[in-house]
Amino acid sequence: MAIRSGELSAVEHVEEALKRLDGDQHNAVVQLLADEARREARERADELARGTWRGPLHGVAVAVKDLIDVAGVPTRCGSNVRRDVPPAPADAPVVARLRAAGAVVVAKTHTHEFAYGATGDVAAEGPARNPHDPTRITGGSSSGSAAVVAAGHVPLALGTDTGGSVRTPAAHCGVVGLLPGFGRLPTDGVFPLSETCDHVGLLAADVDTAATGYQVLSGATGHSMQRDEVRGAVIGLPTGAYWRARDPVITAAVESAARRLADAGAVLVEVDTPGVDGMPDVYGSIVCAEAYTTHAADLATRPEAFQPIIARRILANADLPASEYVDALRARRRLAAQWRRRLSTVDAVLAPTTPIRATPLGVDEVDGVRVGAALLSLTLPFNLARLPAVSIPVPPADGGLPVGVQVAGVRFDEPALLRLAAALVVP
Amino acid sequence: MAIRSGELSAVEHVEEALKRLDGDQHNAVVQLLADEARREARERADELARGTWRGPLHGVAVAVKDLIDVAGVPTRCGSNVRRDVPPAPADAPVVARLRAAGAVVVAKTHTHEFAYGATGDVAAEGPARNPHDPTRITGGSSSGSAAVVAAGHVPLALGTDTGGSVRTPAAHCGVVGLLPGFGRLPTDGVFPLSETCDHVGLLAADVDTAATGYQVLSGATGHSMQRDEVRGAVIGLPTGAYWRARDPVITAAVESAARRLADAGAVLVEVDTPGVDGMPDVYGSIVCAEAYTTHAADLATRPEAFQPIIARRILANADLPASEYVDALRARRRLAAQWRRRLSTVDAVLAPTTPIRATPLGVDEVDGVRVGAALLSLTLPFNLARLPAVSIPVPPADGGLPVGVQVAGVRFDEPALLRLAAALVVP
């Protein structure tokens, strides 16, 4: 908006982003694309001077997770396995769409190695650090994209989400994270973690920016954040121990979010989520089988190029029988169908994004809870059920680390879900 | 047509079908549904008397492969494993659609046990026999559906095709067999062989009946067999040893079909089909993994209920690693995309349906060729490439056993493909 009006020039905006990213203290940036970004910023500024405005992302600096191809830049996936890969020959379609809409790609961002982890602290480049407390993890695997948005370097970044890799770091870093419905955005040019579960998603400074980004990426039209999506909306609150957060501040945040929705006219109902306890195992079998298949050749010839914990984790699945994987795919289809039937009377579901907040770097277990598994436990059910979801930061009652709550769309599609999310934002 | 005009009553037509099916000599019928069929025939006749005509299948007798649920009838899949299963609680959607359009289901038909074979001679009920020579196989696995149409008992029958199970028996028995594009018709209520490759298909006495059946099943509108689809159509003839029929009479039939198309104004071009040699292995890994997963529990507890050769074949895949299956799924996606690109300039591809004609019962190998594998070799590539295909009988030059040629649709969808097929029929 400021760029269109001339109040802020694209050149100044991009220059400021580059300066901030260059001085980043969170190990969030793995490649700064300064020359190309400056050239594009000048082109966008010249276009605007000639009266050409490509839309709300015209001249806006965006960052891209280093799992997604940007033309001319190697896609290293946080791994020494890919230290010497040639530059990507072309933009991934999602990057091409952002660029066509005027966005300026300023940096590739940190990822948990091959996106195979939810903590953001295992990568060839070392751990990403949480802008709210650099001794703590960012969450992952879209660690750098969450951190550069949280640090205020850029308003928007691309991430990927297979079981929670956009929403988890969004919650930990206090930004908005969008998981679109499965298949809504193309994953070509994105290094796969699990091709039957991968999504491209967005990390954004606010809901409106996320909505704009999704509109550009999906080609959806008629986006308007004005419409009231809350009054009369039916919001499901999942029952059962599975959904209970470990951190009481997170529980309080979900309750306050529910109250905000009720006060705005939404109808809250309890819903049960059949089979949710078995979902982590189903998810594990699917992702493990697909990831092992992708990396088998490199693990056989140069296992030392992987981070040791990632190599161990992938190799643990070398002997998975096909029937276990086929069973997991069938369970996913069955559960997704079951959820759609059971939840068919609600517009959206409200739940915590993660059961715990950002843990200290190097700590694998907190109060008997395995951090890596816990961080995906509340996000992966929506991936398996093939529902879109948005994580929104909600102010923590103790004034401490960020807390995320998520809404997942059943009858609501992404634009409606984002309008609902907007109602959760505490001004 | 005859039924609508009153020339033939639905009651007489169904009665005649029941009589023929009851006297069937080809082991093609596994359950005759006489009472229900008579009741429905009377209802359809009464409707017509009141002026209600449901469409071109009104009052027409159809048969259904015993892999597909018909309400109130057990779905035994040609297996003693399912000898005592309860009646299916509901029609499979494909059966429900036929019935809603006025068709009368008169019989369940023979299937190769669990559809796991292309010959039609391995089932709890014993082998199906070819109406053109009862000492020979029908082809399979939709053995009974092909035979009842070939014998003139019914004009139309449902089958299933995972790698050729509709087109192979159609070719062997001298009837029309349609494989719709993957996902075009619902497979709910159909016992799975390979859920990522199963299709419901049609066996019909002529192309027009197949087109009518497909129109009813797909809900497609505007079907007309009048339009000339041949003039200017670009027809690809696949090159390479893979596509060469073993039987010179089949080769001659394909050549004569090509000439008919050229004479009618089609443009014939040679096309290559990248990766086709590897397709049988890709197909094998996918189907084996999925079939083993389906049957693992029964094979563990009562292997003796299976036909021995089927148990051996499924158990051979018990130890398939997940990575091999995932690789096969990736290969299928890659090959399908490659074929679509490579064949993008043709409307359809013309090829033999099978490389050999119906072999004697009990003969597993002919001239060094394994019959079971040979029978799927020319059909399964189109399943993997996700293209619709129709097999049409072409008169054999030696006046002997039937020969089938197939056209597969690239730019042509099913209705266009059927109009093309109509041009291949020798009056």
- What is the Cα–Cα distance from A383 to A374, expressed in whole angstroms? 15
Q: Which chain A residue shows the shortest CA-CA distance from B192?
A: A330
Please list the residue range(s) of chain B that carry CATH number 3.90.1300.10.
11-218
Facing residue for A322 by CB, picked from B195, B289, B330: B289
One-character DSSP codes across B137-203? ---SSSHHHHHHHHTTS-SEEEEE-SSSTTHHHHHHHT-EEEEPPTTSS--TTB--S-TTT--EEEE
Q: Determine contact, residues B64/B108, Cβ cutoff 8 Å.
A: yes
Average pLDDT over residues B12-23: 98
What pLDDT is stored for residue B409 in this prediction? 97
Going by C-alpha positions, the residue among A363, A299, A342 that lies closest to residue A116 is A299
- CA gap A204, A207 in Å, rounded: 7
Which of B195, B322, B327 lies closest to A321 in CB terms? B322
pLDDT at A385: 96
Asked if B322's CB is within 8 angstroms of A324's CB, the reply is yes
Categorize the per-residue pLDDT at A263 as very low, low, confident or very high, splitting at 50, 70 and 90: very high
User: Which residues make up the CATH 3.90.1300.10 domain(s) of chain A?
Assistant: 2-218
A228 pLDDT higher than 80: no
Q: How many CB atoms lie within 10 A of CB A249?
A: 16
Q: Out of 2.20.28.160, 1.10.150.130, 3.90.1300.10, 3.90.580.10, which CATH number does the structure's domain A2-218 have?
A: 3.90.1300.10
Closest chain A C-alpha to B75 CA, distance in angstroms? 21
Instruction: Label residue A226 by pLDDT band (50, 70, 90).
Output: low
**Nearest-neighbour CA in chain B from A296: distance (Å):** 9
- What is the predicted pLDDT for the residue at B3? 78
CA dist list (Å): B61 to B3, B22, B35, B102, B209:
11, 14, 13, 9, 12
Nearest-angstrom CA–CA distance, B379 and B408: 10
CB B10 within 8 A of CB B59: yes
The CATH superfamily label for domain B11-218 reads: Amidase signature (AS) domain (3.90.1300.10)
Candidate from A37-51, A161-175, A220-234 with smallest mean pLDDT: A220-234
Does A245 lie at the interface with B, CB-CB under 8 angstroms? no
B190: phi then psi, degrees, rounded to nearest 5? -115, 125
pTM of this structure: 0.91
**Which residues are CB-contacts of A358 (< 8 A; sequence separation ≥ 6)?**
A130, A132, A133, A136, A137, A138, A139, A172, A173, A401, A402
Chain A closest-CA separation from residue B288 CA (Å): 10
Residue A222 is predicted with a pLDDT of 54
Other Cβ atoms less than 10 A from the Cβ of B140: the count is 36
Residue pair B313/B372 in contact by the 8 Å Cβ criterion: no
- Residue A182's alpha-carbon distances to A198, A239, B13, in angstroms, are 8, 25, 49
A108 is a catalytic site residue: no
What pLDDT is recorded for position A414?
96
Q: Is B136 left (phi over 0), alpha (psi -120 to 50) or beta?
A: beta
Distance (Å, whole) CA A274 – CA A86: 46
Give the end-to-end CA distance of chain B in Å, rounded to a whole number: 20
- Catalytic one among A142, A145, A165, A218? A165
The region that residue B219 occupies, defined by phi over 0 for left and psi between -120 and 50 for alpha, beta otherwise, is left
Whether cis (ω within 30° of 0) applies to the bond prior to B141 is: yes
Q: Do B321 and A320 touch (CB under 8 A)?
A: yes
Catalytic choice (A9, A79, A141, A391): A141
Please name the residue of chain B whose CA is at the shortest distance from the CA of residue A192: B330
User: For A327, which of B293, B320, B326 is closest by C-beta distance?
Assistant: B293
Q: Per the structure block, which two tokens stand in for A86? A: 């040639």
Q: For A295, name the nearest residue in chain B, comparing CA atoms only.
A: B323
Q: Distance between CA A379 and CA A355 in Å, rounded?
A: 10
User: For A310-355, how does the pLDDT look when each residue is reduced to its tens digit (9 = 90+)?
Assistant: 999 999 989 999 999 999 999 999 999 999 999 999 999 999 999 9
Pick A326's closest partner by Cβ from B289, B318, B330. B289
Among residues of chain B, what percentage have pLDDT more than 70?
Answer: 98
E strand or H helix at B18, and its extent? helix B10-22
Give the position of tokens 């940096």: A107
Which tokens go with A358? Answer: 């950002």
Q: What is the pLDDT of residue B267?
A: 97
Chosen for mutation from A285, A299, A323 (greatest number of chain B CBs closer than 10 Å) is A323
Q: Smallest Cα–Cα separation from A342: which of A272, A401, A411? A: A272
Q: How confident is the model at residue A426 (pLDDT cuts 50, 70, 90)?
A: confident
Report the pLDDT averaged over residues B40-66: 96
CA B228/CA B265 separation, integer angstroms? 10
Q: Classify B360 as helix, strand or coil.
A: strand
User: Which residues does chain A have within 8 Å of residue B322's beta carbon, measured at their own beta carbons?
Assistant: 289, 292-293, 317, 320-322, 324-325
A334 touches chain B (CB under 8 A): no
**Residue in A321, A326, A330 closest to B321 by CB:** A321
Question: Which residues make beta-bridge pairs with B370?
Answer: B365
CB contacts < 8 A, A to B, total 53
Shortest distance between the Cα of B356 and any Cα of chain A, in A, equals 33
- Mutate: best of B290, B294, B326, partner A, most A CBs <10 A: B326
Q: Please tell me the predicted confidence (pLDDT) of residue A223.
A: 53
Whether residue B293 and residue A319 make contact (CB cut-off 8 A), yes or no, is no
Dist CA B199 CA B349 (whole Å)? 20
Read off the pLDDT band of A306 (50, 70, 90): very high
pLDDT of A135-169, one tens digit each?
999 999 999 999 999 999 999 999 999 999 999 99
Alpha-carbon gap, residue A293 to B329, rounded angstroms = 11
List of residues 6+ apart from A367 with CB closer than 8 A: A246
Is residue A65 part of the annotated active site? The answer reads: yes
Which residue of A288, A293, A327 is the best one to mutate when testing the B interface, meaning the one whose CB has the most B CBs within 10 A? A293
Confirm or reject contact between B323 and chain A (CB < 8 A). Answer: yes
Instruction: Give chain B positions within 8 Å (CB) of A321.
Output: 318-322
Which residues from A are below 8 Å from B296, CB to CB? 323
Check CB contact of A298 with chain B, cutoff 8 Å: no
Residue in B188, B325, B330, B333 to test binding to A, most A beta-carbons within 10 Å: B325
Q: What mean pLDDT, rounded, does chain A reach?
A: 96
pLDDT band at B1 (very low <50, low <70, confident <90, very high): low
Nearest Cβ partner for B293 among A289, A320, A326: A326
Q: What are the pLDDT digits (tens) for A91-112?
A: 999 999 999 999 999 999 999 9
Average pLDDT over residues A64-76: 98
Judge if ipTM > 0.90: no
